[in-house]
């Protein structure tokens, strides 16, 4: 069996706006621990590194991801698309794995490497007899893996590799069919200005961000031959950062005093909000499209040498761009055929 999916793929790429396709350098994971916690004072964040062995777990990522995907199908199929059911969702886990020698763009030196991993399994449902699927259901498994490299010394460079694996199963003609899509996106980013070493309420700055992206996509149906494609592009955008206010964020483990940092492309409607603790960890992150909240996740658990062990000085720190992960997923989510494979 075979199917020509390239026209649908092209349409999905064309429908993604620049904001959705780029990964903001200082997006939701500004992991910049400070020298020490600040008690009974205004929140001020002094930039410091994470440490090998540190890990952070966030709740809400999978649910937001599932809703975003369901919205895409609802836009395509309208009332025929009924909704989705959660089968399995785990916490998004971000871990600092090693200190290594890295070459990022024009920069070379010691860096910290970070890995973020997440798994999601959902069932998508359409109205009765509106698809060629038996029971009008589609099983979908999504694995997200993000590898990040951040210089250990002052640098405006950053590297990230995102691998999104999407596997779908559906029954048709009393036979199980499977569609697999794997997308690997390599992103090298350079900022015109380094991030401030200290941030506090009222601060604002902007930076021109140049992003070099390489997308490697491959697809196959029913364990057949892989259909592979490659694209490369360079994008430039000016990002405006604003420390809007202080805010209290309550989590299951404790209450946090945070700084609310807004990140927005110049002239764009979409933006993200990071609620940063005095250690610089994002306690909660939110993303908005045209003023509507589309993603929210909250720190659930963590381990950090900033609190329990020896600290190491660094200016740049690992980051994980959730906007970019969702954008990558958008590229492949709409290519799953609703028609019976033939």
Helices (H), the chain: 6-14, 18-21, 61-77, 305-308, 322-333
C-beta of residue 335 within 8 angstroms of C-beta of residue 25 = no
Phi, psi of 101 (to 5 degrees): -90, 125
CA distances (Å), 189 to each of 17, 19, 322, in order? 19, 15, 15
Tokens in use for 273? 């909000």
Q: Please, which residues have CB within 8 angstroms of residue 71's CB and are 6 or more apart in sequence?
A: none
CA distances (Å), 160 to each of 116, 189, 300, 319, 334, in order? 11, 8, 24, 8, 24
C-beta of residue 122 within 8 angstroms of C-beta of residue 154 = no
- Containing 99, the helix (H) or strand (E) segment is strand 92-104
The pTM of this model reads 0.77
Q: What is the pLDDT along the chain (342 residues), one digit of tens a residue?
A: 333 333 233 223 222 222 232 222 223 333 333 223 333 346 666 554 577 888 888 998 888 888 888 887 888 888 889 999 999 999 989 888 888 898 988 888 888 888 989 999 999 899 988 887 778 888 889 898 989 888 877 778 889 998 989 888 887 666 778 889 898 999 998 888 877 778 888 889 998 989 999 999 998 988 899 999 999 999 999 989 999 999 999 887 778 888 899 999 898 898 989 898 887 778 898 989 888 888 888 988 888 877 654 333 333 333 444 445 544 444 444 444 444 444
């Amino acid at each position: 069996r075979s199917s020509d999916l390239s026209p649908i793929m092209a349409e999905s790429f064309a429908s993604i706006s620049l904001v959705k396709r780029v990964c903001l350098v200082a997006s939701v994971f500004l992991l910049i621990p400070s020298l020490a916690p600040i008690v009974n004072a205004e929140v001020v964040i002094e930039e410091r590194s994470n440490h090998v062995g540190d890990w952070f777990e966030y709740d809400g990522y999978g649910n937001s991801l599932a809703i975003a995907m369901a919205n895409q199908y609802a836009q395509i199929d309208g009332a025929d698309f009924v909704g989705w059911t959660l089968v399995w969702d785990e916490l998004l886990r971000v871990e600092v794995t090693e200190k290594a020698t890295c070459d990022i763009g024009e920069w070379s030196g010691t860096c910290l490497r970070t890995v973020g991993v997440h798994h999601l399994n959902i069932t998508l449902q359409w109205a009765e007899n509106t698809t060629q699927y038996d029971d009008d259901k589609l099983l979908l498994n999504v694995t997200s893996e993000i590898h990040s490299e951040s210089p250990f010394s002052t640098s405006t460079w950053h590297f990230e590799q995102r691998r999104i694996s999407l596997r779908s199963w559906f029954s048709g003609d009393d036979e199980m069919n499977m569609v697999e899509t794997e997308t690997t996106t390599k992103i090298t980013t350079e900022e015109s200005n380094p991030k401030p070493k200290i941030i506090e309420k009222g601060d604002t700055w902007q930076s021109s961000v140049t992003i070099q992206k390489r997308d490697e996509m491959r697809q196959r149906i029913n364990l057949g031959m892989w259909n592979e494609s490659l694209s490369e592009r360079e994008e430039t955008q000016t990002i405006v950062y604003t420390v809007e206010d202080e805010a209290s964020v309550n989590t299951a483990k404790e209450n946090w005093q945070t700084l609310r940092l807004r990140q927005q492309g110049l002239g764009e409607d979409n933006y993200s909000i990071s609620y940063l603790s005095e250690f610089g960890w994002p306690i909660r992150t939110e993303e908005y499209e045209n003023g509507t909240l589309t993603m929210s996740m909250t720190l659930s658990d963590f381990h950090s040498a900033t609190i329990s062990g020896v600290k190491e000085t660094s200016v740049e720190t690992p980051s994980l761009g959730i906007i970019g992960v969702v954008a990558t997923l958008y590229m492949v989510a709409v290519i799953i055929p609703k028609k019976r494979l033939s």
